[in-house]
């Protein structure tokens, strides 16, 4: 499986995000990738407040472009489903453009009060699922789903990466959009995120492909972008800031 990774800027403007995603698709197609992974909220922006119809139209355009070049997608976006609830998702499409389903962010962030406040109030959660891509079982996780930051996770850590491994997933696609300031605690968070990526790949004996939002471009990302093997070693990784594209073959 050849995985393309797009460490790209994610902003509130859907039209700008579409232009960026089109660049990522062009890169992936040029490099004969099987699937492209994008950051959390990369189409809609990382927000529950977006124009639903605008995102629906943009989604049709992006998926049609990917289908035309036979590129699968693990696309990060927020989206209002038919149940009229908003989900922070990774949407999976195969190379023929068939929609397989979505993973919704499960460990939504919130304050640690008895009645948590924050994104936990705005996004619905769906059951954990896996999907079949070219004969390979895969799963998705979004940002805090993987590392359960103790400063913003009101619920217990259910070890979702381990659950996906037990469900047969061989590859986990991890879409990130982490906050950072460039200060000391950004460095602490980077170390925590990288350690969790390595430890959980090793514990589940799974490949993890992970990619972060690169906006703003003058500050290091909150987490590394790259691919880890089932022993927890980095197979490839990008530079820590700015727009970066990678592709890498994993042998399953």
Q: What is the mean pLDDT of residues 73-98?
A: 98
Number of structural domains, the chain?
A: 1
**CA 84/CA 59 separation, integer angstroms:** 17
Nearest-CA neighbor of 105 among 39, 189, 181?
A: 39
CATH number at residue 201: 3.60.110.10
Gyration radius from the chain CA atoms: 16
**CA 105/CA 89 separation, integer angstroms:** 6
Each residue's pLDDT tens digit, 201-246: 999 999 999 999 999 999 999 999 999 999 999 999 999 999 999 9
Q: What is the mean pLDDT of residues 165-178?
A: 98
Beta strands in 28-144 (DSSP E): 35-37, 72-80, 86-93, 99-104, 130-133, 136-142
β 130-133/136-142 pair status: antiparallel
Cis? peptide before 216, omega within 30° of 0: yes
Q: What is the pLDDT of residue 71?
A: 98
DSSP secondary structure letter of residue 240: S
Tokens encoding 159? 């070890």
Q: What is the pLDDT of residue 13?
A: 97
Each residue's pLDDT tens digit, 113-153: 989 999 999 999 999 999 999 999 999 999 999 999 999 99
pLDDT level of residue 96 (50, 70, 90 thresholds)? very high
Q: Are 71 and 25 in contact (CB under 8 A)?
A: yes
CA atoms within 13 A on the CB side of 176: 31
Domain that holds residue 17: 2-249
Q: What is the mean pLDDT of residues 179-183?
A: 92
- pTM score over 0.95: yes
**CA 194/CA 230 separation, integer angstroms:** 15
């Amino acid at each position: 499986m050849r995985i393309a990774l797009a460490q790209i800027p994610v902003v509130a403007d859907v039209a700008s995000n579409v232009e960026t995603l089109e660049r990522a698709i062009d890169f992936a197609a040029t490099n004969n990738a099987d699937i492209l992974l994008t950051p959390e909220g990369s189409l809609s922006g990382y927000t529950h407040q977006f124009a639903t119809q605008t995102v629906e139209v943009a989604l049709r355009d992006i998926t049609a472009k990917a289908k035309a070049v036979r590129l699968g997608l693990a696309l990060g976006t927020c989206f209002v489903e038919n149940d009229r609830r908003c989900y922070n998702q990774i949407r999976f499409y195969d190379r023929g453009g068939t929609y397989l389903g979505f993973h919704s962010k499960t460990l939504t962030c919130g304050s640690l009060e008895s009645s948590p406040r924050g994104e936990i109030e705005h996004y619905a959660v769906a059951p954990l699922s896996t999907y079949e891509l070219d004969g390979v079982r895969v799963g998705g996780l979004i940002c805090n789903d993987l590392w359960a930051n103790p400063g913003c996770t009101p619920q217990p850590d259910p070890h979702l990466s381990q659950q996906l491994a037990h469900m047969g997933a061989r590859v986990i696609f991890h879409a990130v959009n982490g906050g950072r300031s460039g200060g000391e605690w950004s460095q602490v968070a980077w170390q925590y995120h990288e350690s969790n990526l390595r430890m959980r790949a090793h514990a589940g004996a799974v490949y993890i492909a992970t990619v972060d939002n690169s906006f703003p471009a003058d500050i290091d990302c909150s987490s590394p972008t790259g691919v880890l093997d089932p022993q927890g070693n980095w197979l490839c990784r990008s530079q820590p800031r700015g727009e970066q594209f990678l592709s890498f073959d994993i042998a399953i």
